Structure 1
Amino acid sequence: MTAPAHARHTKRQLIVETAERLFAEHGYDATSTARIAHEAGVPSGLVFYHFATKLELLLAIVQERPAPSEVLRTAARGRTVRRRLRRIVDTMAQQLEDDRATRIIVFREAQGRPEIASRAAELFEEAAVTVAEVLAGADDIVDDPARVRTAAELVVSRVFLDTVALGQDDTPAKRHAAVIDLLAESLTRPAAPHGVRPQN
């Protein structure tokens, strides 16, 4: 008798989650599919029923994460560049912390696995595009798409590198306050002429 579809999906997800934890803790090469199956509480053959190879399982972990754009678009609240930058930094840092195991895996395995490096590049590009779009919607943004795009890449790079160093105090926005101020000054239109009140 065949198991219901939802049961098969549950077992697959359990395998993915167990592999993610073990790959983050011990590394991809040091983790066998037998250990993944054992800790997931499933037969070894079930791992290969869902994934043809261990590398396919690794790719599933990296590829099936929520897209950065889904989370970063929530940072569009706030009318000014500065407020949006603060929200972007906090939102990105929280997402990276929530996906800490995947981040560790990508950072470690991208060095020698082109498939992981390629996926990491795709995620960076998507995040940079989304951050640029969120910034472009601010009321006081400069009319300079190239500058906005460069700022977006700097924000994504800075926050990702910051999350590699764990145990830091303060909120992400406070840790990156100087960068936020610098970028906000670079991206904000000049103040309105004297006597004309700018919109907030």
Structure 2
Amino acid sequence: MAADDRRTRILDAAEELFAVDGFDATPTARVAEAAAVPKGLVFYYFPRKIDLLLTLLQERLPVPTKEAVSGVVRRGDPAASLMALHRRLGLDSHDSLVLRTIIFRESGTHPQVGAHLRRLRRSLVELTESALEQAVDWTSAKTLRRQAAETFVSVMLDHANARRTDGGGQPDVQGAASVVALALGAPGLA
């Protein structure tokens, strides 16, 4: 069995167990058992239990980079650009639902997780602001663009969180994109 395979199985098991039972309630022995590896191997790859959680977040729910905006901007159409960015980021995809469960649950009790969540949100706002700046053909104030980006990111995160909890009445991301475009003074929208 390859080392990468064992490490991946440990991460897979930890992700599932942390999502169901929580980080603090999941002993490393259960992670090792679920991954079908010796407990010592868990500590070989992840010297502290928190390292296991942080690796999950860094590798499986990374902070997006500027490349995420590449190819999503529709010049002159900020609403379409926001929707393309939303699809590219995939915050409401099934793959990230489990990790979002973990990150929102653990962010209040583990400062490192809260820091990851803040970096993630800050990056999302910066990427959204960049997409808006590139999409808008007309001049808009930097403060307004930042507020528009923060608003749209809040709706995206709320939408993703509603999907995570399978809540009804999910936020209307398309509607939010249209409202943001209107706020920026997009011509032809009313």
**If the TM-score is normalised by the length of the shorter chain, which range does it land in?**
0.7 to 0.9
RMSD of the TM alignment (CA)? 2.5
Which of the residues 18, 25, 33 maps onto 2:28?
33
Structure 2 unaligned runs (5+)? Answer: none
| Contact 1:16–1:61, Cα closer than 8 Å, also in 2 | yes
Question: Residue 42 of structure 1 corresponds to which residue in structure 2?
Answer: 37
| Contact 1:22–1:36, Cα closer than 8 Å, also in 2 | yes
| Contact 1:71–1:91, Cα closer than 8 Å, also in 2 | no
C-alpha spacing 1:164/1:189, structure 2 compared with 1 (3 Å): closer
Which of the residues 74, 80, 105 maps onto 1:78?
74
Query: How far 1:187 moved relative to its partner?
Result: 1.4
2-structure distance, mates of 1:124, 1:136 = 18
Question: Residue 95 of structure 1 corresponds to which residue in structure 2?
Answer: 91
Instruction: Calculate the TM-score normalised by the size of structure 2.
Output: 0.84
Which of the residues 162, 176, 180 maps onto 1:179?
176
Percent of residue pairs bearing the same amino acid type: 31
Which of the residues 1, 5, 11 maps onto 1:10?
5
Query: How far 1:102 moved relative to its partner?
Result: 0.9
Query: How far 1:10 moved relative to its partner?
Result: 2.2
How do 1:109-120 and structure 2 match up within 5 A?
A: 109-120=106-117
2-structure distance, mates of 1:76, 1:24 = 32
2-structure distance, mates of 1:22, 1:141 = 49
The alignment partner of 2:137 has SS state of: coil
| Contact 1:96–1:103, Cα closer than 8 Å, also in 2 | no
The alignment partner of 1:64 has SS state of: helix
- Which protein has the larger Cα radius of gyration, Structure 1 or Structure 2? 1
Amino acid of the structure 2 residue aligned with 1:78: R
1:127 and 2:124 are equivalent in the alignment: yes
Query: How far 1:139 moved relative to its partner?
Result: 4.3
Instruction: Calculate the TM-score normalised by the size of structure 1.
Output: 0.80
Structure 1 unaligned runs (5+)? Answer: 192-200
Amino acid of the structure 1 residue aligned with 2:44: Y
Amino acid of the structure 2 residue aligned with 1:20: E
Residue deviations 1:58-88 (CA, integer Å, cap 9, x gap): 1111112343236742562422112112223
C-alpha spacing 1:169/1:86, structure 2 compared with 1 (3 Å): farther
Question: Residue 196 of structure 1 corresponds to which residue in structure 2?
Answer: none
